[in-house]
Amino acid sequence: MSGKKKLAVIAIGGNSLIVGKKISVSDQYDAVRETTKHIADVIESGWQVVVTHGNGPQVGFLMLRAEMARRHTGLHILPLVSCVADTMGGIGYQIQQALHNELKKRGLPSNTVTLITQVLVDPNDPKFNDPDKFVGEFYDDGKATEVREEHPDWTMKKDANRGWRRVVPSPKPIEIIELDAVRSLADSGFNIVAAGGGGIPVLQKPDGSYVGVDAVIDKDLASRLLANKLGADLLVISTGVPQVAVNFGTEAERKLGKVDIAALGEYMAQGQFPAGSMGPKIQSAIDFIKAGGKEVIITSPENLGQAFARGAGTHVVP
C-alpha cells in the first residue's frame, strides 16, 4: 500500500447486525450505526480501514422470502449466489452510509465506498463433494421430501434436532478478483466495504471468463486473504465475545490476551475452537500471520476502540 496511514481490515459478523429479535431492515441499520461508531473510533485514531462483513442471517431471510414467493405466487427461486450478491449490496450500503455519516459528524474525511467483490474458488475443492454449510429454512420430514422432489440438485441434511436444511459447499477462497480496485480505492484515501459475506464465489472457465456458483465462502477466511493481499498492517476479526477463551464455558475457562500462533495451533489441535464458531476465526488469524501479517485482534465490535488504544481483546502475534 502506498498510502500514509496504516491499514486495518476489519471483519464484522452478520449476526452482530441482529440484536435479539430485532431483524427488520431498520433494526439492522440501527445495529450497523452502533458498530460503525466503533469503526470510526479506529479511523479517528489514525487508521484507514477496509470493512468486511458476514451475511448468514440476511441470506437466510432472502431465501425464505424467495421460497414463500415461489410457494404462493409461483415466482422464481433466487439462486444462492444472487442472494450473496444482494446482501453484499444491501449491507454494504448500510455500512457505507452509516460510516460516512459518523465520520462527517466528527469532522473527519468521510469518503467511503462499497465494492461488489467476486472471489475465485477451485472447482476441485473437496467441499464441493461434501457440502456442509447450512442455509435457508428448516423442513420437517414430509416437507423435506417435497423439497427434494422440487430441487433434485439440492443436498439436504439434518441440522441438529431442528429439522432438515439445505447444505451447500464452503470452498476456500483463492483470489480476490477485484483486488486491484480495492487497492486503488485505498490508495485514493477511501475507506472501503468489500468481500461482504466472504465474497461472491465464482469459478473461472478455460477462456478466462467467470461464472457464479452456489456456495458460501467463510467471511473470515476471505478477509484474511484480502488483508494479506493488500499488505494490511492489522486484521481485526469481530465476534460475540470480548476475548477468545480456552475451555470455554467451563470452570477452567481462561481468556487469552496476547498469544502467539504456536500456542493457538496447539489449542486448535486440542479441539478448543469448534469449526462452526471460533474455529475459522482462529485459523484465519494463524494464516494471516504465517503469510506475513503482523498482528490480529479478535474482539467484540463494542470493544474495538479499547482493543486499539489499550490492548483489550485477544491479540495474535507471530
DSSP helix/strand/coil, 201: strand
User: What is 69-90 written as a DSSP string?
Assistant: HHHHH-PPPPPHHHHHHHHHHH
Classify residue 178 by its DSSP letter: T
133 is catalytic: yes
Question: First vs last Cα of the chain: how many Å apart?
Answer: 21
255 is catalytic: no
DSSP helix/strand/coil, 273: coil
5 is catalytic: no
Measure the CA–CA gap between 33 and 97, rounded to whole angstroms.
9
294 is catalytic: no
Using CB atoms within 10 Å of the CB of residue 141, give its burial: 0 to 12 exposed, 13 to 18 middle, 19+ buried: exposed
Phi, psi of 87 (to 5 degrees): -70, -30
Q: Could you tell me whether strands 112-115 and 191-194 are parallel, antiparallel, or unpaired per DSSP bridges? A: parallel
Spot the catalytic one: 92, 127, 281, 293.
281
E runs forming strands in the chain = 6-12, 47-53, 112-115, 118-120, 133-139, 155-158, 164-168, 175-176, 191-194, 200-204, 210-212, 234-238, 245-246, 254-255, 258-260, 295-299, 314-317
15 is catalytic: yes
Spot the catalytic one: 5, 6, 15, 111.
15
Spot the catalytic one: 13, 14, 305, 313.
14
Spot the catalytic one: 54, 198, 219, 313.
219
Measure the CA–CA gap between 240 and 46, rounded to whole angstroms.
25
The position carrying cell 462499497 is: 114
Spot the catalytic one: 55, 60, 127, 133.
133
Catalytic residues: 14-15, 133, 219, 281
